[in-house]
Amino acid sequence: MIDKSLKQLGQALAAKEISSVELTTLFLDRIARLNPEINAFVTVDRDKSLAVARAADARIANGTAGPLTGIPIAQKDIFCAEGWTTTCGSKMLANFVSPYDATVIAKLHREAGMVSLGKTNMDEFAMGSSNETSYFGPVKNPWDRARVPGGSSGGSAAAVAARLAPAATGTDTGGSIRQPAALCNLTGLKPTYGVVSRYGMIAFASSLDQGGPMAASAEDCALLLNAMSGFDERDSTSLQRPAEDYARDLEKPLAGLRIGLPKEFFGDGCDPAVMAAVQAALDEYRKLGATTVDVSLPNSHLSVPAYYVIAPAEASSNLSRFDGVRYGYRAPDYDSLDDMYMKTRAQGFGAEVKRRILIGAYVLSHGYYDAYYLQAQRIRRLIADDFVAAFKSCDVIMGPTSPSTAFKLGERAADPVQMYLSDIYTIAVNLAGLPGMSIPCGFADGLPVGLQLIGDYFAEARLLNAAHRFQQATDWHRRRPADIV
């Protein structure tokens, strides 16, 4: 049952081979057994999950079920869920119980009828690439417990990789869905900016943040995106577009597909073993009828510098709400209002979050705004224009998701710049607002390697098609760690 696709689970539920209560219990039991070692979940509430499973069973019995009704899913702890502790991986929100549902939560649970297994661990306020900045401790990669699962959606990635959940939600500001998907052998999709509502998704960098699915396969991700996406009047940047069936093109043959290979993603700086797996995947695509063309993203080397101005600037503004007054942590002892703010924020935020707030406050401050913030926004335009030019000669861009496989816990924690460079291939996609995926494409020294697929705006169905056909010809995405049973 733990290796079944979401479609197969839906069929098993519809055929009454298993009930949602039984399926939910199976995964809750796995969490109880394996989570102490993996630390993928920060909150589990058996009674609450089973109550939702019983309601799903009632929907299945009375004929009002959809394709995902009764299937369990894990929620990244960045999504507010009514009645659930919602921490965003921070001491600041360690005791915050959300009074409302994020739109993604409402859509997946109230509308689609999925069952929440609990909330997953993450880098604090989604700032990190290793899940080591969480207030609730690091997550272990199920493929090697001495290594990181990636971040910031590391708990979601580890949960699915260890089959503690059939699927999970993630969010991606600079690579936080794709990089952990690559490091944990999953399929992850960051949609075009504006496709998935940000309402109730705790803000990090609002012009970059986008929620999306993480699961075993492209087919699973297509079904989840169908349920998660759509216009939301509560999100001012939500796009008003006709509803799409993201699974519609899954089976389309790939003959004639033009794959662009940016020379900047195939140079030095990538682990040769990772590159070998990526090249083998491209050969597989050629066998499937695709052709490859060389393209260039000449400003892509500027994406990390521009991102580390724009994202911290937006974060310093978004995180100003954590002031000890309205909710969340408040310092116990202080002698003035300013002192309360200063101590609350010093004690409530971890080191990486503080660093980014300080960068943001600096680049937005008087005298530096033009040199840093405006310059970064101009470079953002150049980076986005590079993609527009590249998509004139190709349908999808491919390359490695991450320059290395999962690194050791602690290996990069002391050097922020080293950590930031983990996202060198993913960040440009967020700056441009394009859809991107990572799919399993092989192993290097026993550790998973991810292939990144980047599409033009609103080309999610095409990306999912390219990913699905590859997954029908290969079985990398079906593999799980040998000791995960």
Catalytic sites, residue numbers? 76, 152, 176
State the Cα–Cα distance between residues 451 and 282, nearest whole angstrom.
Answer: 9
Q: Which stretch binds another protein (CB under 8 A): 219-227, 336-344, 398-406, 443-451?
A: 336-344
Q: What six digits make up the tokens of 450?
A: 């991810």
Binding mask 30-69 for another protein (x = CB under 8 A): ----------------------------------------
Under rule CB under 8 A, residue 246 binds another protein = no
Under rule CB under 8 A, residue 381 binds another protein = yes
Under rule CB under 8 A, residue 233 binds another protein = yes
User: Which is nearest to 165 in space by CA: 135, 144, 186, 134?
Assistant: 186
SS3 letters across 263-317? HHHCCCCCCHHHHHHHHHHHHHHHHCCCEEEEECCCCHHHHHHHHHHHHHHHHHH
State the Cα–Cα distance between residues 44 and 53, nearest whole angstrom.
Answer: 14
CA terminus-to-terminus distance, the chain:
11
Under rule CB under 8 A, residue 91 binds another protein = no
Near another protein in 252-311, by CB under 8 A? 299, 301-302, 304-306, 308-309
State the Cα–Cα distance between residues 273 and 182, nearest whole angstrom.
Answer: 14
- Taking CA atoms, 202 is separated from 66, 86, 181, 276, in Å, by 28, 9, 21, 38
Q: How far is the CB of 326 from another protein (least distance, A)?
A: 7
User: Which is nearest to 179 in space by CA: 135, 206, 148?
Assistant: 148
Q: How far is the CB of 361 from another protein (least distance, A)?
A: 4
Under rule CB under 8 A, residue 194 binds another protein = yes
- Beta carbon nearer to another protein, 348 or 448: 348
Among 135, 193, 199, 476, indicate the residue that binds another protein (CB under 8 A): 193
Among 70, 324, 436, 455, indicate the residue that binds another protein (CB under 8 A): 324
What is the SS3 assignment for 263?
A: helix
* Inter-residue contact 131 to 170 (CB < 8 Å): no
- Beta carbon nearer to another protein, 89 or 360: 360
453, β-bridge pairs: 398, 437
- Beta carbon nearer to another protein, 36 or 367: 367
State the Cα–Cα distance between residues 400 and 70, nearest whole angstrom.
Answer: 35
Q: What six digits make up the tokens of 109?
A: 């649970």
State the Cα–Cα distance between residues 51 and 64, nearest whole angstrom.
Answer: 17
Among 7, 54, 91, 354, indicate the residue that binds another protein (CB under 8 A): 354
Under rule CB under 8 A, residue 202 binds another protein = no
Binding mask 412-441 for another protein (x = CB under 8 A): ---xxx--x----------xxx--------
State the Cα–Cα distance between residues 347 and 371, nearest whole angstrom.
Answer: 32
**Binding residues for another protein, total number by CB under 8 A:** 69
* HSE value, Cβ hemisphere, 13 Å, CA-based, for 440: 27
Q: How far is the CB of 40 from another protein (least distance, A)?
A: 26
Under rule CB under 8 A, residue 325 binds another protein = yes
User: Where would I find the H helices in 369-445?
Assistant: 375-390, 416-420, 427-432
Q: Where does this chain bind another protein (CB under 8 A)?
A: 96-100, 192-194, 207-208, 233, 236-237, 239-240, 299, 301-302, 304-306, 308-309, 316, 323-327, 330, 336-343, 345-346, 349, 354-355, 357-362, 365, 371-372, 374-382, 384, 415-417, 420, 431-433
